[in-house]
Amino acid sequence: MKVTLVPGRELDADLIRTWAELQRSNPDLASPYFHPEFTRIIAAARGDVEVAVLEDDGNVSAFFPFQRESRTVGKAVGHPLSDYHGVICAPKQKFDPLALLRACKLVAWDFDHVLAAQTPFQPFHQFREISPIIDLSGGLDRYLAERKSYGSGLRIPLQLMRKLEREVGPLTFNVHLKDIELLYFIMRKKSAQYRRSNKPDLFANDWVRKSVENIFQTQTTHFGGMLSTLYAGSEMIAALMSIRSSDVWHAWFLAFEERFSSYSPGFAMYLKIVECGSRLGFRYLDFGKGNQPYKKRLMNGSVALAGGSVELPSWLTFRRSVIRKIRALVTASPLAGPVRRIVRVAGGESKSSEQ
């Protein structure tokens, strides 16, 4: 295996075409985050994006995009914006992650959304999660019938949608509007939400704002941004910035007016996507990783993801290992406070308890 490092800003047309062909040949890579345009846009906004180009017998066989968080530590390209990452390659292709790191001049590559289906990374998994999805292929009626049979509890959200129409006005769903002021509205709302939650504000980073703006403005057959809105009468209820491939609609940043929160605007938005998504040629809506209650109630499928780190022996990785062990001990200590445990109950629902 020959590996050549290429700066993300210097990918030529031939490499981009080969990358796109590899992505389309592998159903596991349907997410828009695996499209070369996502890497190109991130690379345009920050200068530390590189791509390892893998060759076998003189032919390009895979791509491994990453960003260099420090001289020897890498993360997924676009982190923390990226909801999927891994190696762009043919289905079931084998590769050596440790050899890949050496070729990239890295001692560690940290990941939190790598495809569990990419088996070469499995020895480096530290935890597994899922990305909930909604299968859009059957349309709204089939989806609602299926959810009803599983007792997922959509009766109340549907009642709230009808109440919203009665009290505010008829619902209008716009798949994509090109008004950048709507994008700025979402950014302001999300920034305020991050501050209320004492979380780092993503949109305080210039490269994040620039990347999201560029994705919003990109519209090609196989990649682009989507800014959807839901109106009740003349009132805008919610706006959703998504990222899409040719057949995957990936929800990204949702914002809504607080005065309409009692109507569950997020549920209404996603049910409207189910209603129109299959007509537009999308196979599924992807929520991104997370166990929020609304995702559990709406999902009818999932994609397995994993988090962890590929590491080569070094003083840096030894220190990182010690720090991880200390954190695990502190978390397990009785002095660390109550532990929240998820308990399965009848009907498949989950509830938490503190011990």
Q: 157 preceded by cis ω (within 30°)?
A: no
**In angstroms, rounded to a whole number, what is the distance separating the alpha carbons of residues 104 and 162?**
55
Is residue 65 predicted with pLDDT exceeding 80? yes
Query: Can 2-131+304-346 and 135-298 be said to share one CATH topology?
Result: yes
| CA-angle at 16, arms to 13 and 21, nearest 5° | 125
At the top level of CATH, the class of 135-298 is alpha beta
pLDDT on residue 320: 76
For residue 106 the two structure tokens come to 């890295």
341 has a pLDDT exceeding 50: no
Q: How far is CA 140 from CA 112, 250, 271, 279, 287, in A?
A: 32, 18, 8, 10, 17
What is the rounded average pLDDT of the residues 80-86? 96
Question: What backbone phi and psi angles, to 5 degrees, belong to 328?
Answer: -65, -40
What are the tens digits of pLDDT across the range 46-64? 999 999 999 999 999 999 9
What average pLDDT does this structure show over 270-278?
A: 94
Model pTM score: 0.89
Domain parsing of the chain, residue ranges? 2-131+304-346, 135-298
More confident residue, 1 or 48: 48
Rounded to an integer, what is the distance from CA 294 to the centroid of its chain?
16
Handedness of CA 272, 273, 277, 280 (dihedral sign): positive
Mean pLDDT, range 174-192, rounded to an integer: 97
- At the fourth CATH level, the homologous superfamily of domain 2-131+304-346 is Gcn5-related N-acetyltransferase (GNAT) (3.40.630.30)
How many C-beta atoms surround the C-beta of residue 321 within 10 A?
12
